Amino acid sequence: MDVELHKNFDIKNLTAFKVGGEISNAYFIHDVKDLELLKDNFKILGNISNTLVSSDGYDGTVVLTSKMDKIVIDGNIVKVQSGVKGPKLAQMVAEHNLSGLEFMIGFPGSVGGEVFMNASAHGQAISDCIKSVTMYSPEKGVFTLSKDKMGFDYRTSNCQKNDWVVLEVEFELIPKTHDEIELKMKENLEFRKSHQPSLALPNCGSVFKNPEGNSAGRLLDEAGVKGLKVGGAEVWEGHANFIVNKNKSATSEDILKLMCLMKNKVKEKFGINLYPEILYLGNRNKNEEDLCKILNQK
């Protein structure tokens, strides 16, 4: 078994928000078979780009898939482990003149998280070109489902409804010319630079999901949340649906408080409830427990 175990692992610098405390047990795995041999109850994390980890840490066991980074290309069929980062995959398939994942060039997350959330941008969704997904759940162990069994929809999949964790993905991509693919990726990167904060400003991407037929960013902008601050957390001036940790001084409680403030501003102005796109993991103090309830209340 090729598994690394780290006790009382400080996870802060691995997270996109640069927020988080110590994890009691952190395993780094390299292959699906490694996972089948672990005996502890555990949570699985990928690139931690869409997860807010408690500043008080987590008294459980976490399995990190960041070292599961193999890519196998056979014609237009691409098999990818969940720890592969989106930009790396987009660039590699582009070198083989394969289209369908150009939007991932600007996504800092890993493939596993992007399938879990059914990530999408610029008219493309990761589910568009999936053939099958290999996953793990405590009840079923490791299993594989075809795309039509995955329940993909806007920012959701059956992974979220059933607590399934993505381990490997099989894609069927579309052959195109290299110039076409490169042009699309260039356009996507330029859009990201003008509409989203630099990765030098720690952030987890979009904070809230778009309500059906509406835009969370527009609602938040019109509710006047840009520039709002709580502790070290701040709503980015360039786009109202992003929170940045400017000086890397924010705590998880700061971010949750700011998210609640943003949600309440939209509720007061438009009567619309926004729901988090960001997931939360870890120990919760009483304040954080209450804040999480507010964020998810109907």
Token digits of residue 7: 């006790």
CA torsion 261-284-204-35 (nearest 10°) is -160
Token digits of residue 158: 């059956």
Token digits of residue 180: 């076409």
Catalytic residue among 172, 182, 222, 277: 277
Amino acid identity, position 28 = F
What CA–CA distance (Å, rounded) separates 87 from 185? 10
Residues in the chain, how many?
298
Catalytic residue among 66, 82, 110, 206: 206
Residue 137 a catalytic site member: no
Catalytic residue among 132, 155, 222, 284: 155
Q: Are 275 and 209 in contact (CB under 8 A)?
A: yes
Q: What HEC string does 110-152 produce? A: EHHHHHHCCCEECCEEHHHHEEEEEEEECCCEEEEEEHHHCCC
What CA–CA distance (Å, rounded) separates 262 from 239? 13
Element containing residue 197 per DSSP (H, E): none
Instruction: Write phi, then psi, for 102 (nearest 5 degrees).
Output: -60, -35
User: For 163, which DSSP code?
Assistant: T
CA torsion 158-162-164-169 (nearest 10°) is -10
* Residue 44, beta-bridge partner list: 63
Residue 206 a catalytic site member: yes
Residue 240: helix, strand or coil by DSSP? coil
Q: Are 276 and 160 in contact (CB under 8 A)?
A: no
Residue 284 a catalytic site member: no
Give me the active site residues, please. Answer: 155, 206, 277
